[in-house]
Amino acid sequence: MSHAEPLSLPSYLDQPPEVVAHLAELYRRRTVMRIDGLSKLFGSGAEEVVALRDISFDVHHREFISVIGPSGCGKSTLIRILAGLDYPTAGQVLVDGLPVEGPGADRGMVFQGYTLFPWLTVKQNVLFGPSMKGTPKLRAEEKALEWLRLVNLSDFADAYPSQLSGGMKQRVAIARALANQPRILLMDEPFGALDAQTRASMQAHLLRICGQVNITILFITHDLDEAVYLSDRIVVLGARPGRIMEIIEVPVSRPRSPNQFLSGSFLSTKRRLEELIHHVEISAKPESEMMAEVYG
């Protein structure tokens, strides 16, 4: 197989039969999260920022859906609303048909920053959570070790966070979130602070975990490769106002592997994302508007 970029790429809309079948099966699954007409304004008057405008999409059981877009397009605002940490100005979020009214154990969160408790061991960090509360101690510890095995950290159960690398800390954070058995895992640029090599290994870990655990994931990133590599679908947001530009069905077959990074379907999807995110954002804006932004 040649590793050069093909001269003419297929369209990202051309889906091989196995992808067509996978997506058809995915759409038949139940909706875990429904995002319905969300808008979010910050400030008022001249200070008003439309962080999100009329965002709607459904997330299906065991789907891996990414949200991508330029800095400031409202990604973190969106995920904070989904987590119940902030409220929309309009619209609503439903989990299994019920409106979200605040944070809840049905939604696990993994952020970019490391959010482990430094004074607790790795195992104690995983044990820390609502679903472990009523469980007898020995059984809970057994379960914590199972989650640590899943993220390949069994040997570090008694270590403290300060003894771990960034990638390892993030794997503990993933284990802790999964240990609470959420309906959906919300991840806001979880690998953003990691070096390229660690990031690649974390992506492989996450793909493996998705194969082994019954989990639905909504994943925020601004890394195009990461979005294509991991996702079933990618929601592309534009900035000011933060709005959906397109929802892309990723035409790359599963199981995913790094060999696919140079495949026609991968590259054509990435090219489409580039068009939507970089080209449109930079050149489609009237010059007067850009000058106004620069000079206030």
Which of 7-15, 26-34, 43-51, 154-162 is the region at the interface with ligand ADP (rule: CB under 6 A)? Answer: 43-51
Q: If binding is defined by CB under 6 A, does position 75 make contact with ligand ADP? A: yes
Which residue has 């809970």 as its token pair? 140
Q: What is the dihedral of CA 108, 274, 191, 115, to 10 degrees?
A: -50
* From candidates 6, 16, 72, 103, binder to ligand ADP by CB under 6 A: 72
Q: Which of residues 48-67 bind ligand ADP (CB under 6 A)?
A: 49, 51
- What is the edge-to-edge ordering of all strands in the sheet holding 49-60? 49-60, 31-42, 90-95, 98-99
E-assigned strands of 105-263?
107-110, 184-188, 216-221, 233-238, 243-249
Which of 45-53, 76-84, 94-102, 112-120 is the region at the interface with Mg ion (rule: CB under 5 A)? Answer: 76-84
* From candidates 12, 19, 23, 76, binder to Mg ion by CB under 5 A: 76
Q: If binding is defined by CB under 6 A, does position 74 make contact with ligand ADP? A: yes
36 touches 93 (CB < 8 A): yes
Which residue has 């472990």 as its token pair? 132
Which of 70-78, 116-124, 144-152, 208-216 is the region at the interface with Mg ion (rule: CB under 5 A)? Answer: 70-78
Residues binding Mg ion: number (CB under 5 A): 2
Nearest CB to ligand ADP, comparing residues 16 and 72 = 72
Nearest CB to ligand ADP, comparing residues 74 and 161 = 74
Give the whole-angstrom CA distance, residue 185 versus residue 217: 5
Give the whole-angstrom CA distance, residue 284 versus residue 25: 37
- The residues binding ligand ADP (CB under 6 A) are 42-43, 49, 51, 69, 71-77
